[in-house]
Amino acid sequence: MAKVMRQALDSACFLNTNRRRIGPGGENGTFSRQPAGRRCYLFVVALFLLCLPRLAVAGSWNSPAQALAQKIVTVTGPGAVAITVENRSSLSKKDADAIGGLLRVELESLGVRPVPPQQAAASVAVWLSENPRAYVWVAEIRAGTAEPSVVMVELPRAEDGGFLRESAAESIRKIALWAQEERILDVLVLEEQTAPTQIAVLDGEKVAIYRMKNGKWAQEQNLAISHTRPWPRDLRGRILGAQDHLFDVYLPGVFCRSTPSLPLALSCRESDDPWPLVAPDRGGYSPAGRGAAVPPLGAFYSASRNFFTGALTPGLGKMTNAGKFYSAAPLPRESYVLWLFAETGGEIHLVDGVTEQAEKLGWGSDVASVRTACGANWQVLATGTGDGNEENGGDSVRAYEVADRDPAAVSAALNLSGEITALWTDAKGDSAIAVVRNRESGEYEAFRLGVVCSQ
Amino acid sequence: MKRFGWAWFAASSMLLRSLMGPAAAETRPQYGGTLRIAMLESPGSLDPSDATQPDSLARRNLLGLIFETLVTVDERGRVQPALAVDWQAASGKQRWQFRLRRGVKFHDGSGLTAEIAASALRTANPSWKVFAEGESVIVEMDRADADFPAELALPHNSMVKRMGNGKLSGTGPFHIEDWQAGKKLTLGAEENQWRGRAFVDRIEVEMGRNFHDQLVELDLGRADLIEVPPETGPRVATEGRRVSASQPMELVALVFSGEAQSAEEKLLRRALAHSVERASMRGAVLQGAGQAAASILPNWISGFGFAFAGAANLELARREREQVRSAPNLTVGYDANDSLARVLAERVALNARDAGISLQTTTAAKSDLRLARIALPSADPWVALRGVAEALGVALPRTSGTSVEELYAAERGLLAGQRVIPLFHLPAEWAASNALQDWSPAADGGWRLEDVWLGKVAMGKSRP
């Protein structure tokens, strides 16, 4: 059966589970816009995606089951044997049952005849266990009054099980983009059709360019980031599309600029230039619907800390210093732009260039605004403590609208699988990039978050 | 118990999180403040290579704030780069080359060089052949050792620069500001540490504080992080404090002072092992903390700890005892300052008497066996096993093997010597103030204080 699954996977696979990379639309939110036939096809593919890690692991159980069966038979020899299998690992009951079944088949193929204990010449107790590095399958073999023998095999643990099993939120939809062990700082979608087809992933040491080929992300280029000073802890950074070249990278005390086209080169220099708070217009970020255009605004970022110093350029009206803040989000109004600054002291500072006020809203440190077709056309995504998310202890993201100066939640909290380490408005302005450190795997997972209208 | 170690650790983390209330994890770390720690131990030296200092998790954690090693072992037992960016083996894993990270500086401002690194390793391991070669450190051994990088992650192999005035300089996230041996340690955040400056400005460690005093200091807001004995962890948590735990990293065991000299002595030891009622001791004395153990390595590290049988069998113990014609009166020693050790030793003596074995408790330095608490040195199973063997004074055969079966055979061999009767594996536990944010000790008990930060005490949905 495992072989059949394997073959099916080989033919349908567009996810490389070994490398823990996720294909487009790997989570949710994009399928409903497809034509019916394609929708069906994508549904099947999505079903495969959801099952894939388990199936892939199932395929890899054959070999250790064979090895353990061989070791057991070396001790017992062929004949009547009582066999029990107990799961002492984090494997699910279903998986453990499947492994037990495989093991019995392998033992039978080697001449062992499973019988009840009272008819057995030997008894074999198999425990499916684990340690931090591997699954450990242990068999204790008792025959007569002799000292029991213990044999065992190990196989590496699958590390990516949790990523695809996230449940969907109702109003904020997330699409998995990328996961890796190194801390992801930002992701720039360079090309997309119905789903991203080329992305640039920024971490502390490189920008990696990936392209979707045959349903898998394939690395196109790896551009090293040079820096002489150590990065601060809680490293943050941005990668933003540019007008006359492909992208710019902003890191604490460092600025990098790419060449215009592939194959790319990246030149980095020490710099205290301000970081753009509004992504440059790449042909997709012109505000649509209600609201004024968002004029460019830059903010200076501390080279040795994790916040913006507060200094703004060119400023908001007469205000050129907003106080130290972690993140900022513009909300265009009819005739002005309301800026929200998540200050390091915990308050949200609302500034329109003429008036300003600070509110304790109970939001987290990261805010990002997105342009949508819902409600007032602009929502703020704000991080927060997981709402009923005790199961994995992760953070959450919730969408708010800000009527006048009073924010109101317009979505349920989207619980995530760990701590949110980055939340930035996407280049097009209609979604946000969130990076989450998965509490189980320790990996950093980048998602694209979009607000979906309730009707 | 279906899901053992990792699930248990996750559950304890969740417990911690629920006790914290709506945690402020969504808030970005803030810089500044002084983190105050109280601890029981009173180390007399901060020199990682000082072999006269007893090894303990607390000492390791202190050293880890100041000093770093070439590599580290992560929570999954994998060797990770630290001051060395990569490494390779040659000559059948007898020669190891570690290439140093560039730009790393000691707290005195000088750079880490291969010569200094080699010197530090030679000081800690006089028998090793270590030398510098370009930007690399070479270690040559007389036999192959596939697990050598994990051994380099042990704290005594830290990179230490010895200054002319007898002071020590490290490359870790904190530098020493003030050191009153055994009493108080003040550390300052190293501004240009290669991994980035720590969030807190300063750490003050008060040493030699008993657990009761530590708890009072936490409750009065005079400490942010204190130790909690595992047996009191549940009570401390139910009283509303934030308690978190490592995976079991301490072995509690009965250790005989020497090898069994006769077949009868071996039988008596076996009888004693069969008499110990670990389960009832764990419930009554440890209040359910830790895990009853018949293995040296905890199950979460090896994956096969349960395969060593440890259930009490009083009938068998009596039968074995009866086969011993002249059984001596035995004494079991324990540390007079360790109340848990005293109670456990008394329970062991009681169990022994039930089996007909005469066993008296004593705090005298000399005894036939002692109740020992051995801190496992690493989450790497081979390094941990060797460390325990060393603590027992027993040689563990060197092996080039790395398979789980070879590990099992090595542990089984160690136990077959009958020098040690494992009793329990205990976690390390701590209670933290509400101000301490992002406090999440590693599975192996590592503090990771460079990543914590201090928020305001008020917790809740509203921002601090």
The ipTM (two decimal places) reads: 0.81
Say which of B2, B300, B303 has its CB closest to residue A134.
B303
Which residues of chain A lie closer than 8 angstroms to B461, CB-CB?
A: 362, 384-385
The sheet carrying A216-224 orders its strands as: A184-192, A196-203, A206-213, A216-224
Banded model confidence at residue A291, pLDDT cuts 50, 70, 90: low
Distance from CA of A419 to the nearest CA of B (A): 7
Element holding B370 (H helix, E strand): strand B369-375
Distance CA B7, CA B298 (A): 15
Lowest mean pLDDT among A82-91, A307-316, A391-400, B266-275: A391-400
pLDDT tens digits for range B307-321: 998 788 999 999 999
| pLDDT, chain A, mean | 80
- What CATH number is given for B1-51+172-246+428-464 in this structure? 3.40.190.10
Query: Looking at residues B200-219, what average pLDDT do you find?
Result: 96
**Closest CB to A344 among B23, B30, B76:** B30
Q: How deeply is B250 buried, as exposed, middle or buried, from its count of CB atoms within 10 A (0-12, 13-18, 19+)?
A: buried
Q: Is 0.80 topped by the overall pTM? A: no
Nearest to B342 by CA among B281, B300, B301: B281
Q: Distances from the Cα of A159 to the Cαs of A145, A249, B171, in angstroms? A: 41, 30, 32
Residue A3 has pLDDT above 50, yes or no: no
Is it the case that residue B78 has pLDDT exceeding 80?
A: yes
Six-digit token pair at A135? 């699954």
Residue B170 has pLDDT above 90, yes or no: yes
Give the model confidence (pLDDT) of B399-455 as tens digits: 656 789 999 999 999 999 899 999 999 999 999 999 999 898 999 999 999 999 998
Q: Do B304 and A136 touch (CB under 8 A)?
A: yes
What is the CATH T-level fold of the domain B68-162, as seen in this structure?
Answer: D-Maltodextrin-Binding Protein; domain 2 (3.40.190)
Looking at residue A377, its amino acid is N
Sequence ranges of chain B with CATH classification 3.40.190.10: 1-51+172-246+428-464, 68-162
Residues 6+ apart with CB under 8 A from A274: A298, A299, A300, A301, A311, A312, A313
pLDDT range class, residue A214, cuts 50, 70, 90:
confident
Nearest chain B CA: its distance from A11 CA (Å) = 33
**Contact list, A229 vs chain B (CB under 8 Å):** 192
Cβ contact, residue pair A439, B10, below 8 Å: yes
Residue of B nearest to A68 (CA): B405
Torsion of CA A383, A384, A389, A394, to 10 degrees: 60
At B89, the pLDDT band (50, 70, 90 cuts) reads confident
CATH 3.10.105.10 domain locations along chain B: 250-426
* Banded pLDDT at A454 (limits 50, 70, 90): low
Domain B250-426's class?
A: alpha beta
Mean local confidence (pLDDT), A135-157: 89
| Burial status of residue B88 (CB atoms within 10 A of its CB: 0-12, 13-18, 19 or more) | exposed
For residue B17, name the pLDDT band (cuts at 50, 70, 90). Answer: very low
Q: Are B162 and B50 in contact (CB under 8 A)?
A: no
With CA atoms as reference, report the closest residue to A394 among A402, A382, A385, A403: A385
The residues spanned by each domain of chain A are 2-156, 168-196+282-451
Top-level class of domain A2-156? alpha beta
Residue B5 scores a pLDDT above 70: no
CA A366/CA B25 separation, integer angstroms: 11
Comparing alpha-carbon positions, the chain B residue that sits nearest to A154 is B404
Residue of A nearest to B103 (CA): A228
With an 8 Å Cβ cutoff, are B28 and A366 in contact? yes
What pLDDT is stored for residue B372 in this prediction?
Answer: 95
Has residue B463 got a pLDDT over 60? no
Examine the pLDDT at B290 and tell me if it is beyond 70: yes
Query: What residues of chain A lie within 8 A of the CB of B5, using their CB?
Result: 130-132
Asked whether the predicted pLDDT for residue B113 surpasses 50, the reply is yes
Q: Lowest-confidence range among A9-13, A58-62, A186-190, B275-279?
A: A9-13
What are the chain B neighbours of A132 within 8 Å (beta carbons)? Answer: 5-6, 75-77, 300-301, 379, 443
